[in-house]
Amino acid sequence: MRKRGPQPTLRDSEVLTIEVVGEFLGLDRESNIFTHFCRSYSDWVPGLGRITRTTFTRQAANLWKVKQELWQRLAQHIPQDPYLSIIDSFPVPVCRFARATYARSFRDVASYDYNEVARHIYYGLRAHVRLAGPGVLVDCALVSAHLSDTEGAQDLLHDVS
């Protein structure tokens, strides 16, 4: 239940459904999902014609906690091999390198690190993910960029016996 602001034009269930179906159709950007559903399914979701893309994107982003809980519940029902885990990490820059000294976002957790693939130093975070057989995303974490993969793996394996 919302505590502040006006009630949104679209229900949260409609936004979540649009996002899930859009991802299933291979539309990986919010703008593509919004455009596709406005053109093809506006009669199914009448509120789409009364909002802008940025309003839709903002509402979808604000549902991050609901999406996270939904993902965790669904992951529990997918058969997984508890003895097989694949852990990997990738850089998540939070701003351009030249702006790093002025950046306020994520100041408490972001740091500098070297991106092996792009072959340059970046300022940001590092995402660590754990997949269990047969390729189910089981856990993920965002940590400071300078933390090693070993430290990130320990955090992801805390509940594995």
- Give CA–CA dist 110/58, Å, rounded: 24
The residue ranking higher by pLDDT, 104 or 65, is: 65
Cα 151 from Cα 156, distance rounded (Å): 9
pTM recorded for the entire structure: 0.62
**Model confidence pLDDT, tens digit, residues 84-119:** 788 888 999 888 888 888 878 788 888 889 888 889
Q: State both tokens at 127.
A: 């995402």
* 3-class DSSP state of 42: coil
Q: Let me know: does 57 contact 110? Beta carbons within 8 Å.
A: no
For residue range 68-88, what is the model confidence (pLDDT) as tens digits?
Answer: 888 888 877 877 776 778 888
CA distance 106 to 52: 28
Per-residue pLDDT tens digits for 13-39: 999 999 989 988 999 888 899 999 999
Q: Which helix (H) or strand (E) holds 69?
A: helix 64-76
Q: How far is CA 94 from the centre of its chain?
A: 14
